[in-house]
Amino acid sequence: MRRFEGKTIVVTGSGREKGLGQAILQRFADEGANCIVSDLGKPAEHMGAGDIGTTDEMEAVAGELRRRGARAAVVPCDVRSEPSCERLAAAAVETFGSLDIWVNNAGIGYIMKPLLETTASEWEAVIGVNLSGAFYGTKAAAKAMIAGGRGGRIINIASQAAKSGFPHMAPYTSSKHGMVGLTRSNAIELGQYGITVNAVCPNHVTTGLGARQNEYFSKLLGFDSVEAYLDNMKRKNPMGRPGLGSDTAAACAWLASDDAVYVTGEALNVSGGEEMH
Q: Which residues are catalytic?
A: 172
* Closest to 63 measured CA to CA, from 26, 10, 92: 26
Fill in the DSSP letter of residue 184.
Answer: H
Could you say which DSSP state residue 50 is in? T
3-class SS of residue 80: coil
Check: CB of residue 12 under 8 Å from CB of residue 21. Answer: yes
Give the three-state DSSP class for 74.
strand
Report residue 123: phi and psi, to 5°: -55, -50
In sequence order, which residues have a C-beta less than 8 Å from that of residue 9 and are 6 or more positions away?
A: 25, 28, 33, 34, 35, 36, 100, 101, 102, 103, 256
Which helix (H) or strand (E) segment holds residue 195: the answer is strand 195-202
Q: What share of the chain is helix, strand, coil (3-state, %, to 5)?
A: 50, 15, 35
Q: Are 16 and 22 in contact (CB under 8 A)?
A: yes
170-190 helix and 120-127 helix, angle to the nearest 10 degrees: 30
Nearest to 97 by CA among 71, 68, 77: 71
Angle at 133 between CA 37 and CA 247, to 5 degrees: 55
150: which DSSP letter? S
